Each structure stands twice: as structure tokens, then as C-alpha cells.
Chains A and B, each alone.
Chain A
Amino acid sequence: MKELSLNILDIAKNSVKAKAENILIKLDETDETLTLTIKDDGCGMSEETVQNVMNPFYTTRTTRKVGLGIPLLKLAAEQTGGGIEITSDCETDSHGTTVTAVFFKNHLDFTPLGDVVSSVTVLIQGSPDIDWKFVHTIGNESVELDTKELREVLGDVPLDSYEVIKWIEDFLKESYESVS
């Protein structure tokens, strides 16, 4: 993947597939590290499956036998000296999965974050009935979007209406301009 934001798009799609109702995408940046957390309340995975998803020859897809989503994220993190961790619960009422990846930003092999705004809007456009929360903290500042708050104002208007998607895109872009 050319940008980490594409890995984010890819991994968050797993949460959609796990029938999550709430998905949190969190980015925490310090001078040295970028920590990505994707947390969902989907169906979760067994301990065995959590072990398997790291293996590129494991996949839930039926069109072919290779699943590269998590292995690619793992590679992107490990090549900077970081790593990933997956915790999941498929048994209790607090079911869901959390994927955490740590990247060392100053490492030569750090993949740039890229167009994260585009990934967030694509995710919302693709699954407008899920509640998405996006938080990107850079030092003391942050960019935040919570679709629950948007829904309160929008009422019945679906989040994937072009006008709404455009608003979300512009809102995030403006928020990024004001932190950088």
C-alpha cells in the first residue's frame, strides 16, 4: 500500500464485515510515533482466528485463498520498528475487535499517512448506517468527527447523500488546515 490511509480503509472494512454498529478510528501522533487504533463492536474473533489473521494464507474471502489486509498492516508497522496487536472478544456482551498498530515516523521505511480524509469519507459513503468516530491527535491538537453528532442534525437524511459526504470532506480538510 502506498499510503497508511489505504491500510486504514482496508482494515476498517473488516469491522464493517464483522457487522459492527460503532467503529472508532484513532490516530495519535507524537514527534516520534504514530499509533493507529481501529476499534469495533462487531462479532469479534476467537483466539485461534486472531492468531490466523496474521498469516497471509488465511482469509475469510471465498474468491481466493490469500488475505493480505492484516499482514500488510503488520509489515508496514514492523518495517519502522513498530508492530501490531489485535485483541478480540466474540463471547461476551462487550464483543468486538481492536487493532492497534505503532509506527516509528522517523524511520526510513515509514509509509506516509497520505489522504486519510479520503479514506474516512469513503468508509462513511460505503457504510452510512454505521456510527463512525474519527479522532486524530497531533500533539495537543486534534481533528475529530463523530457521525452520531451529524445524525442528530441530519435526521432522516442519509450520510451517503452527496451533499453530506462533501460537507464531511470539507469539514475534515478545514480541521486539518487549522491544526497544521
Chain B
Amino acid sequence: MKSLAELAAIREKMKDKVVLREGSGEIRVVVGMATCGIAAGARPVLNAFVEEVSKAGLADKVTVSQTGCIGVCQYEPVVEIFEADKEKVTYIKMTPEKAAEVVEKHLKGGKAIQEYTISNAIS
């Protein structure tokens, strides 16, 4: 059974990391979580990003956050990736599987997956 003692151990482990976190977030993954996003399946997409980013060892570099309606409800679940000095990448109709792929190829590999982006859908 999970115990508060385990949380104390997490605190101990994270002691040195907390300072690091302040400088983190070179890349921001933002998942649209308004009514439209939630109804279209944004919850498992968000969970996949949180899990895969941690598994890939990118937690210090990437922050995963939630936002409201981005304004393109027909393309939900929508995920935006912000990176300093780079143009925003908007992924549409996301699934947990696509999320894992984006973490691997885009966040880790540095190359956006054009096929899943909004520019691919409207061009």
C-alpha cells in the first residue's frame, strides 16, 4: 500500500532537483483541455505526454502544461509545442500513440512530425 513515507523519500530524492526546475522548461508542451479538448480525448493525450517525457529523461528540459480552448475545436485534441527561437508547432487530432512518437522524434530528436501538424491539414 502506498504510504506517506514514500512521499518523504521522493522529497529527499528531489531536494537537489528543485533548484534545477526553476531553469527548466526550454520546451513547453501545451495541451488544450477545455470542454472541446476533453470531449475529444485530451486527457489520455496529456497523460501520455507526462509519462513519456519522464520516461525519456526529458523532465528537466520539457514542461507539460494545460490550457483552455485554442480555437480550432474541430481539430482537437490539439497540442502546441513552444521552443525558444523556434516557430510554434501545432499538432492536431492527437492520440496517446502519436504523443509518444512526438516525444521521441520531436522533443528528443529535434524534428517535428509534419504529418501530424495543423499546417499539413490545411495546406
Known: A1-B38, A9-B38. A119 touches B13 (CB 8 A): no
Known: A61-B69, A167-B7. A67 touches B35 (CB 8 A): yes
Known: A63-B70, A161-B10. A126 touches B33 (CB 8 A): yes
- Give the total of B residues in contact with A, Cβ under 8 Å: 34
Tell me if A69 is interfacial: C-beta within 8 Å of chain B: yes
Interface residues of A in 60-106 (CB under 8 A from B): 61, 63-64, 67-69, 72
Known: A10-B35, A154-B7, A167-B2. A126 touches B14 (CB 8 A): no
B70 touching A157, Cβ below 8 Å: no
Contact partner of B38 among A6, A64, A67, A167, CB < 8 A? A6
A153 touching B7, Cβ below 8 Å: yes
Cα(A161)–Cα(B50), bound, Å: 10
Contact partner of A61 among B18, B34, B38, CB < 8 A? B34
From DSSP, what is the main secondary structure of chain B's interface residues?
helix
Known: A13-B34, A122-B43. A165 touches B50 (CB 8 A): yes
Tell me the smallest distance from the CB of A65 to a CB of chain B, in Å.
12
Cα(A10)–Cα(B68), bound, Å: 10
Instruction: Collect the chain B residues with CB atoms within 8 Å of residue A121's CB.
Output: 47
Instruction: Collect the chain B residues with CB atoms within 8 Å of residue A156's CB.
Output: 18
B35 touching A69, Cβ below 8 Å: yes
Of the candidates A126, A155, A163, the one having the most CB atoms from chain B within 10 angstroms of its own CB is: A163
Tell me if A171 is interfacial: C-beta within 8 Å of chain B: yes
Cα(A113)–Cα(B51), bound, Å: 23
Cα(A170)–Cα(B6), bound, Å: 12
Interface residues of A in 147-173 (CB under 8 A from B): 149-150, 153-158, 161-165, 167, 170-171
A-contact bits for B42-63, CB 8 A (1 contact / 0 none): 0110110011011000010000
Cα(A43)–Cα(B45), bound, Å: 30
Interface residues of A (CB under 8 A from B): 1, 6, 9-10, 13, 17, 61, 63-64, 67-69, 72, 115, 118-119, 121-122, 125-126, 149-150, 153-158, 161-165, 167, 170-171, 174, 178
29 contacts between A and B (CB under 8 A): A6-B38, A10-B35, A13-B33, A61-B69, A63-B68, A63-B71, A64-B71, A72-B39, A118-B47, A119-B43, A122-B43, A122-B47, A125-B46, A125-B50, A150-B4, A150-B7, A153-B4, A153-B7, A154-B7, A154-B10, A154-B11, A157-B11, A157-B18, A158-B21, A162-B50, A162-B54, A164-B7, A167-B2, A167-B10
